[in-house]
Amino acid sequence: MSLTKSEVIEKNRYELQFSIDKATFDAAVEKVYRKQVKSIAVPGFRKGKAPRSIIEKMYGTGVFYEDAINDLIPVAYPEAAKESALEIVGQPEFDVVSIDENGLVLSAKVYVKPEVVLKDYVGIEVEKEISEVTDEEVDKEIETIRERNSREIDVTDRAAEMGDTAVIDFEGFCDGVAFEGGKGTDYALKLGSGSFIPGFEEQVVGKNIDEEFDVNVTFPEEYHATELAGKPAVFKVKIHAITRVELPELDDDFAKDVSEFDTFAEYKADMKAKIEKRHETTADNAVEDKLVEALIEKLEADIPEAMFEAETENYVRDYDTRLRSQGLDLKTYFKYTGMNLDSLREQMRPQAERQVKARLALEKIAALENLEATEEDINGEYEKIAAAYSIELDQVKASIDSSAIAEDMKVKKAMDFVKEKAVIKTKEA
């Protein structure tokens, strides 16, 4: 393979031409022939035994060319792209220039990263808003942990109350006829949760274990089952059990159980410190977002549509990966949300555009400020990735090229540079 031409055909777009010698092309065609001949029937020959020359005479000389070219491109094009030294973005468009006694010549029309102009990125003024930690916030956080350490107690000496969980059998009737989906056994209903039809849970309150009773309700006008919407119904209900949640006392013993502290006062003070740190991190992230928005406003670049499309596809793939990690996939997601691939792309597009513009701006700053990634930076990033995904370090290094890591590190250093040089005014949110 050799690159024979690289020329601008329009702004931010090049045409590359690269050749593949005749011996390599002929070998690829022969390989395709041997693979496909098994399924080609030619009169006078056993299936899979027809000579290549006979098949080409029947179907044309180029019958195997397209598949051979498709087999060669994944090897030949990357070499041509590397030789061109262009910063290519998006997917290329391939065409055949010629096939003759010298071999094969292909063209690839590609988009490249645009020229970027960025001024006044030093000393950007932003406000950092930090929320004060309130006693209510600390109490709420502790209450969450308290609820997490609660236990369920059987209630046998009283009737059901709001906040209890009643284990019930129920069957619903409309106009005296049982309706579909209106029956359940041993259903644990949290009273006060609002999970049943309005008015249902309130009528369970005051009832005792083993008691059988009727619950009279009216379905909401906007109820999803239209045949029941707005209609009165009677549920036959029986309570099998009642439980309540018992919360631990907020005392020193509680602090010892849920933390490394001996007293509740120490535990509460530590909780406040953690929330303060979280507020600080949130404020820092908000500052970074504001700085990125400022850089995007200052960015001057004629960005190819291909860059936005490629980044949008990256977001879609990442989303699909996250869904799969939760036991779902895009097909299932679309079924339940009513979306499709195009609407998901439309939803992801603004984030993708922002990411492309932000990265172009930060790459320009890295170049202007001569920011480079050191060996220590790259190794440190490899170690972070290995730890985050519980993968062997050597495996990470084998799967991610160090040059890609280095580019990401330069972008990160550029962001750190912008933050360091920014004029940040702190105020209480």
Q: What is the pLDDT of residue 429?
A: 77
Q: Which residue has the higher pLDDT, 48 or 329?
A: 329
Q: What is the pLDDT of residue 213?
A: 96
- Is the pLDDT assigned to residue 208 strictly greater than 80? yes
Contact present, 365 and 413 (Cβ < 8 Å): no
Q: What is the pLDDT of residue 227?
A: 87
- Is the pLDDT assigned to residue 416 strictly greater than 90? yes
Q: CA 259 to CA 376: how far, in whole Å?
A: 36
Q: Is 189 helix (H, G, I), strand (E, B) or coil?
A: strand
pLDDT band at 181 (very low <50, low <70, confident <90, very high): confident
Taking alpha carbons only, the member of 296, 335, 340 closest to residue 316 is 340
Q: CA 165 to CA 155: how far, in whole Å?
A: 10
Fold for 151-246, please state it.
Chitinase A; domain 3 (3.10.50)
Question: What digits encode the pLDDT tens for the residues 226-279?
Answer: 889 999 999 999 999 999 999 999 999 999 999 999 999 999 999 999 999 999
Residue range 2-112 in CATH 3.30.70.1050:
yes
Contact present, 112 and 13 (Cβ < 8 Å): yes
List, in sequence order, the alpha helices (H) in 299-340: 305-325, 330-337
The answer to whether the Cα torsion of 365, 371, 372, 378 is positive or negative is negative
Question: What digits encode the pLDDT tens for the residues 6-64?
Answer: 999 999 999 999 999 999 999 999 999 999 988 888 888 888 888 888 888 888 989 99
Q: For 312, how many CA atoms within 13 A lie in the half-sphere containing its CB?
A: 16
Percent of the chain's residues with pLDDT above 90: 86
Q: For 277, how many CA atoms within 13 A lie in the half-sphere containing its CB?
A: 6
- Whether 151-246 and 258-428 share one fold: the answer is no
Q: What is the pLDDT of residue 223?
A: 86
Q: What is the pLDDT of residue 39?
A: 86
Q: What is the pLDDT of residue 299?
A: 97
Domain ranges of the chain: 2-112, 151-246, 258-428
How far are the Cα atoms of 113, 126, 147, 274, 284 from residue 137, in angstroms, in the given order? 47, 27, 15, 11, 20
Q: CA 36 to CA 40: how far, in whole Å?
A: 7
Fold for 258-428, please state it.
Trigger factor, domain 2 (1.10.3120)
- Is the pLDDT assigned to residue 354 strictly greater than 90? yes
Q: Which residues of 290-302 are buried (b: 16+ CB within 10 A; e: fewer)?
A: bbbebbeeebebe
Element (H, E) at 167: strand 165-174
Q: What is the pLDDT of residue 99?
A: 95
